[in-house]
Amino acid sequence: MRAITVALLLALACPATAAAQDATDPLAPARAIIDQAQAGDLFTPSMEADRITVHHNRSRLVCHFRPSERARIQIYSVQDGGPPRGDDVSCGVPIAGAYATFYATRYPQAVSVDDALAESVYEITHVSPQAREYESIVPRNPLEPISSRTQSFIIPNFMRQPGVFYSRTSVAVLDGWVYLMRFTGPEGGATEQGAEDAWRAFEGDLATAPTPAN
């Protein structure tokens, strides 16, 4: 999770590319992004209706995308005192004209949801000092299945891109794992609604997924 800005830079700077796919294998796109991340021991692909999913084997993280959509898995480098390989991962997908990255991080020490949000907010404002806190016009889910925290921002010229952007970070902590979503796209109600819908779907996955075995 400490490499949040790296993931966003890659997502926003790299053009969408379609991996070579085997027409007879509907899971070929998922296998391709797993292989690209050298994460075959950490993620498992599957199909759900018209969407591909990749499951992180150690946590409740699940990433959904269509075969034609760009998605990216990242395994973050091991740092002194930080999580071991496979305990700090993310999956990024395009959603509603924006880009969402979902993270799962298990730290060696316990981390509260408030501490996790504070860390994410610090990273956002450190990289984008022009960011200003913002109260979204879209109401939060009053019946959240899990406890979470959220902070939204308005960021002009995000990552040196022209225009004004809406960015949201939402976090939850379950089973010792910190789950985080970063959602960024053009300023406006559609992006804000897309962010809320994406977090509600992610919360639903987290609430219903089985407890990780390790």
Query: Which pLDDT value is given to residue 23?
Result: 58
Query: Which pLDDT value is given to residue 20?
Result: 47
Query: Which pLDDT value is given to residue 6?
Result: 43
Lookup result for tokens 């391709």: 32
Question: Which string of b and e fits 58-67 if b means at least 16 CB within 10 Å?
Answer: bbbbbbbbeb
Taking the model in full, what pTM does it have? 0.88
Residues 6+ apart with CB under 8 A from 49: none
Mean pLDDT in each 10-residue stretch from start to end of the chain (214 residues)? 48 44 76 94 91 94 90 89 91 92 94 96 96 94 87 94 95 96 96 95 93 76
Cα–Cα distance, 25 to 8 (Å, whole number) = 29
Query: Which pLDDT value is given to residue 16?
Result: 41
Nearest-CA neighbor of 120 among 146, 148, 144, 80?
Answer: 148
Sorted by where each begins, the domain ranges of the chain are: 4-208
Residues 6+ apart with CB under 8 A from 35: none
Q: Which two tokens stand for residue 140?
A: 């939060």
The angle formed by the CA atoms of residues 121, 126 and 129, to the nearest 5 degrees, is 100
Query: Which pLDDT value is given to residue 40?
Result: 95
